[in-house]
Structure 1
Amino acid sequence: MRTLKTRRVTAVSDTPAPVPDQTLSARLAADLDAADLRSEPLRRLWGEEADDALARGMREPILRATAGDQGVLATLGRLFVLGMPQPTASVSAALPRLGLDGLVALGLARQEGDVAVPTALLRPQSFVDAEGMGEWWIASDLDETALDGALPPDHVLGVGGASRTLAEIVMPVEVDRALDLGTGCGIQALLVSRHAGAVVATDISARALAYAELNAQLNGVSNIEFRLGSMFEPVAGEAFDLIISNPPFVITPRVEGVPEYEYRDGGLVGDALVEQFVRAAPRFLTVGGAAQLLGNWESRGGQAELARRAGLDRLSSWVPDDLDLWVVQREELTPLGYAELWIRDGGTTPRDAAFTPLLTAWLDDFAQRGVTGVGFGYILIRRPSAAAPLRRLERVTQPVSNVGGALRAGLAAHDLLASGLPTTLVTASDVTEARHLLPGSDDPSIIELRQGGGFARTVSVDPALAAFVGACDGELTVMQIAAALSDLFEVPFPALWADLEPRIRALVIDGFLAPAASA
């Protein structure tokens, strides 16, 4: 078996990695709790507009809002959330249990005279899952705003857009063992720990693992084991019920002068890292176990539509036919759009002299492989226990919500349909119907079923299928409804059922219809 490796980069950060310590972390957590360093109190302190501005990289509004405020929350907000030096006296007063010495010992600050200089960010991060609402404290490296410049290659990212996306798509299922591969700051491991007996969190970066372990300590989570290593090497010979990963999937030119960031670059050419992950993951799944990840995949050559399809087909070819595969492509960028996105992500803008050489390197790299577009989305692989494998490759560009719940329900529906349609169906509570009529016409030219949650799908249906869905109230059986429609539309039952049955199955998979409670 070819060994799966990602690149190793020599650390170049000016600040040391944190030093997890259970006792000191508990003291810091107690101080943060006493100070009420939470999202809502901070938002009230400096105002919604200033809070929203920080998300766009502007800290000046917060500084103006807290100018002259030497209170505990304002001090810790500037120190930890903005990453700005604060007077040692104020920091010591704000952390009475830990003290400035303890903060330095954890590797989260250093003392320069009468000033405490933060060496990391520590921000509250709220979440919502099946068990309710909660909030973590998440430490990570100083960002571009705090550094006032580009990120170092060994940067450990905090909770960003990709982290939130992965958290939303992970299926909310109770499992015995879970694996978070490429844990970074550890946010996914923390979230999964709420519905897993044990979690293994791995990363190639010792710096990232230090942050992840510290974050587990800060939040009182004890069922996570941290292991250093590349890809699946740290878990050789083991199997998991759930594997999640936000791998370093960004496609980056392998040429001199292009920065390689550990948190996003896997060190391989093109989309090879995603390919290796997808090919390897099934060997580490239990029967019924699933792997979920975010990824990029290239579309190469040909006309635009054929090339886009080829990208999904390339991905599908990496997964054996006896496994479930559900791919949801959320967007596709041109080579130019993709290059600009990730060059800017590293802190380089078109005003910088380095921008054009980097752009040239990216475009040349894509041209060598004939890349016409780069898809981004969600990949779910499952080792089925009984049902025939599900193979679903689709593009979903509309806003979505509760994707993890929708994926779980879709797999459950697929398994259920393996033994035939349920006797009785009900229409999901979030489904509505829209009819479009030409002026003066009594009959609709278009009938659509619209889904309010999950993938928010819109499906065009004909009058017969619309009538079927409208009659699914849990009282009449599927066959009773179909027989009545056969009479109503004056169509022989065998012909009507042959037409309706596969489309009813699709609506069950998509969550428009569900088995009645008594079915």
Structure 2
Amino acid sequence: MSTTAVIPRIPSPDHAPDLRAALLAADFTADGLLELLGAPAYAALARSETVPALRATRGDGALAALVRLFLLQEPVAYERAAAVLPVAECIADGWLAAEGPGDSDSAYSDSAYSDSAYSDSAYSDGATVRATVDVRPYGGPAGEDWFIVSDLGCAVGGAAGAGGQGEGVVLGVGGASTTLAGITVRTPVAAALDLGTGSGIQALHAARHATRVTATDLNPRALDFTRLTLALSGAPEAELLTGSLFEPVADKTYDLIVSNPPFVISPGARLTYRDGGMAGDDLCRTLVQQAGDRLNDGGYAQFLANWEHVDGEDWQDRVRAWVPRGCDAWIVQREVQDATQYAELWLRDSGDHRGDPARYAARYEEWLDEFDARRTRAVGFGWITLRKAAAQQPSIVVEEWPHPVEQPLGEAVVAHFARQDYLRTHDDAALLADHFVLAADVVQEQVGEPGEEHPEHVVLRQGRGVRRATKVDTVGAGFAGACDGSLSAGRILDAIAQLLGEDPVALRDRTPVALRLLVGEGFLEPVSLRA
């Protein structure tokens, strides 16, 4: 039989409901995988390490067969697969490729088993099937059993995600994907846009709370995979449009825009899924700047992005300048890598470190030459959230927070902008007249030498959400502790002034700056916002 490998066709979603039913019946779900594999092997699989999962699936059983087939890319006996799946339909639709005894190990053999009429009797003993795509269980936020479909070997991004794959590769769910899903605002909306959809994870999330979902991508294969992800997850169909940035939706507006774009700052555009093809961070800048015109009033646009740290320029000023007119913004830098670390990360991602050392060195030089030419010394990674507000004085908060956070943060994002609205409409006198309560998750820490009567400083720390921490002085600590909503801020300050022997007028004059910080960062909540 022929052993010629051919490019696999993307499966048809025609019988996706039947395949979904079979997968669920075998408990091929996120919870089912965790129970079968155990936590260490499950975590290793998320890192693209397959050996622990191979060991855990040596036995019989429907779930073990599916794990080997769709996640580990191992051949499974035809009879064993047929006991779990509608194999004939899966082969006909292109989810599986069949191999007879003696066929090549290629998953895409053009043997007679690949395009003939499919029936169990057509297979002799020893026939096997292989998956043509990666089908990965993914648990939705309300316990939904979803499935993310991607190219084989590309279920996750990062160092092991897509090395050696072609430029049109479509990745599955990685850390960036889940980060964006976690920070996205999940209020019900009429229209949502997933720009640069990839395998469709953001469109799948949006389908839960958006009446209409549009997904775009420059790579037509990505739209095909998004269609499969939605169909196999039992989600409504989305409008799928091919094109770059906002070109496919130039005449439309949305209540929610999300994008995990090809933000990697690289010399050239070798890989469509990650390299933007524009100079430096121009793709992220363009995406953010153009988003304002595509948002409805009150709508949110949320992106992951990279930005350059350039000699002689403040990175905060750089990204602040991206914010379009008529929008509030919250920009958080989560990580910074110097030019060498950044180049090495993405050279490993593309598998260059496993090839010819001279070629690897030459490509490394290309990255550093590009950074030197642009005076780029480091690259920042983080989140950008826009809200269409049309306020006379927009709120643009740019900050660095590399510390651990608690996902999901969608509600925290909404609360952030609500606090900015409050602060924007309350002058100092209004602040002092208002009532506040200490946020429920805030604790106080005192730092100093053991046994010392007075601590060196006091720290307020949030136990949930962004998990911020901020230093406060004696007045700040006492004020926060007294905020239970019963007294106005001014009355509390007057009481503190009396206890400390300070001038109450002077204390009232200097406190609003600190009060704005505590409110803006969520340590104190105005009673009116809680209501």
- TM (norm. structure 2) is 0.87
CA displacement 1:408-463 (0-9 Å, x = unmatched): 11101111233323722111111011112345532222111111112211111111
* Aligned with residue 81 of structure 1, among 64, 71, 77: 71
In the alignment, residue 445 of structure 1 is paired with which amino acid?
E
The answer to whether structure 1 residue 382 and structure 2 residue 390 are counterparts is no
CA displacement 1:472-491 (0-9 Å, x = unmatched): 11222223212212322333
CA deviation after TM superposition for structure 1 residue 352, in Å: 4.4
Q: Corresponding residue for 1:401?
A: 406
Structure 2 residues without counterparts, runs of 5 or longer:
101-126
The answer to whether structure 1 residue 61 and structure 2 residue 52 are counterparts is yes
The answer to whether structure 1 residue 180 and structure 2 residue 194 are counterparts is yes
* Aligned with residue 92 of structure 2, among 105, 113, 133: 105
Change (3 A) 1:386 1:156: same
CA deviation after TM superposition for structure 1 residue 311, in Å: 2.1
* Aligned with residue 125 of structure 1, among 114, 138, 141: 138
- Structure 2 distance, partners of 1:321, 1:491, is 44
Q: Corresponding residue for 1:366?
A: 371
In the alignment, residue 253 of structure 1 is paired with which amino acid?
P
Bigger mean CA offset, 273-282 vs 381-390: 381-390
CA contact (8 A) 1:172 1:408 kept: no
Bigger mean CA offset, 188-197 vs 243-252: 188-197
CA deviation after TM superposition for structure 1 residue 337, in Å: 0.2
- Structure 1 distance, partners of 2:297, 2:446, is 44
The DSSP-based 3-state class of the residue aligned with 1:133 is coil
CA contact (8 A) 1:176 1:241 kept: yes
In the alignment, residue 67 of structure 2 is paired with which amino acid?
G
CA contact (8 A) 1:70 1:90 kept: no
CA contact (8 A) 1:427 1:469 kept: yes
Q: Corresponding residue for 1:43?
A: 34
In the alignment, residue 33 of structure 2 is paired with which amino acid?
L
Change (3 A) 1:106 1:312: farther
Structure 1 residues without counterparts, runs of 5 or longer:
1-12
CA contact (8 A) 2:460 2:469 kept: yes
CA displacement 1:267-297 (0-9 Å, x = unmatched): 1121111011011111101111121100000
- Structure 2 distance, partners of 1:419, 1:144, is 49
* Aligned with residue 278 of structure 1, among 288, 292, 297: 288
In the alignment, residue 64 of structure 2 is paired with which amino acid?
A
Bigger mean CA offset, 493-502 vs 70-79: 493-502
In the alignment, residue 296 of structure 1 is paired with which amino acid?
N
In the alignment, residue 324 of structure 1 is paired with which amino acid?
D
- Structure 1 distance, partners of 2:37, 2:292, is 48
The DSSP-based 3-state class of the residue aligned with 2:228 is helix
In the alignment, residue 109 of structure 1 is paired with which amino acid?
L
The answer to whether structure 1 residue 426 and structure 2 residue 437 are counterparts is yes
The DSSP-based 3-state class of the residue aligned with 1:198 is strand
- Structure 1 distance, partners of 2:302, 2:148, is 23
- Structure 2 distance, partners of 1:110, 1:350, is 29
CA contact (8 A) 2:335 2:382 kept: yes
- Structure 2 distance, partners of 1:193, 1:202, is 15
The answer to whether structure 1 residue 249 and structure 2 residue 251 are counterparts is no
Q: Corresponding residue for 1:290?
A: 300
Q: Corresponding residue for 2:456?
A: 445
* Aligned with residue 355 of structure 1, among 360, 363, 367: 360
Q: Corresponding residue for 1:8?
A: none
Identity within the alignment, %: 41
CA contact (8 A) 1:449 1:459 kept: yes
Bigger mean CA offset, 116-125 vs 482-491: 482-491
CA deviation after TM superposition for structure 1 residue 511, in Å: 1.1
CA deviation after TM superposition for structure 1 residue 102, in Å: 1.8
CA deviation after TM superposition for structure 1 residue 498, in Å: 2.2
Change (3 A) 1:472 1:133: farther
Change (3 A) 1:440 1:109: closer
CA contact (8 A) 1:436 1:444 kept: yes
* Aligned with residue 414 of structure 1, among 420, 433, 456: 420
- Structure 1 distance, partners of 2:451, 2:64, is 65
- Structure 1 distance, partners of 2:97, 2:274, is 28
- Structure 2 distance, partners of 1:80, 1:491, is 70
CA contact (8 A) 1:350 1:356 kept: no
* Aligned with residue 495 of structure 2, among 481, 484, 491: 484
The DSSP-based 3-state class of the residue aligned with 2:352 is coil
The answer to whether structure 1 residue 323 and structure 2 residue 327 are counterparts is yes
CA deviation after TM superposition for structure 1 residue 385, in Å: 4.8
Change (3 A) 1:149 1:373: closer
The DSSP-based 3-state class of the residue aligned with 2:227 is helix
In the alignment, residue 47 of structure 1 is paired with which amino acid?
G
Change (3 A) 1:301 1:418: closer
CA contact (8 A) 2:194 2:259 kept: yes
Within 5 Å, which residues of 2 pair with 1:478-517? Answer: 478-516=489-527
The DSSP-based 3-state class of the residue aligned with 2:251 is coil
* Aligned with residue 223 of structure 2, among 209, 217, 220: 209
- TM (norm. structure 1) is 0.89
Q: Corresponding residue for 1:18?
A: 10
- Structure 2 distance, partners of 1:70, 1:165, is 36
Q: Corresponding residue for 1:162?
A: 176
Change (3 A) 1:148 1:412: closer
Change (3 A) 1:473 1:148: closer
CA deviation after TM superposition for structure 1 residue 66, in Å: 2.0
Q: Corresponding residue for 1:238?
A: 252
In the alignment, residue 128 of structure 2 is paired with which amino acid?
V
CA contact (8 A) 1:325 1:392 kept: yes
In the alignment, residue 296 of structure 2 is paired with which amino acid?
T
In the alignment, residue 112 of structure 1 is paired with which amino acid?
E
Number of residue pairs aligned between Structure 1 and Structure 2: 489
In the alignment, residue 83 of structure 2 is paired with which amino acid?
A
Bigger mean CA offset, 28-37 vs 414-423: 414-423
- Structure 1 distance, partners of 2:154, 2:164, is 6
Runs of 4+ aligned residues of structure 1 deviating over 4 Å after TM superposition are 144-149
- Structure 1 distance, partners of 2:216, 2:12, is 16
- Structure 2 distance, partners of 1:279, 1:16, is 38
Change (3 A) 1:14 1:317: farther
Change (3 A) 1:127 1:263: same
The DSSP-based 3-state class of the residue aligned with 1:349 is helix
- Structure 1 distance, partners of 2:259, 2:9, is 22
CA deviation after TM superposition for structure 1 residue 387, in Å: 6.9
Q: Corresponding residue for 1:344?
A: 348
CA deviation after TM superposition for structure 1 residue 197, in Å: 1.7
The DSSP-based 3-state class of the residue aligned with 2:421 is helix
CA displacement 1:181-237 (0-9 Å, x = unmatched): 001101011112212121111111111111101111111211522111111111111
CA contact (8 A) 1:339 1:359 kept: yes
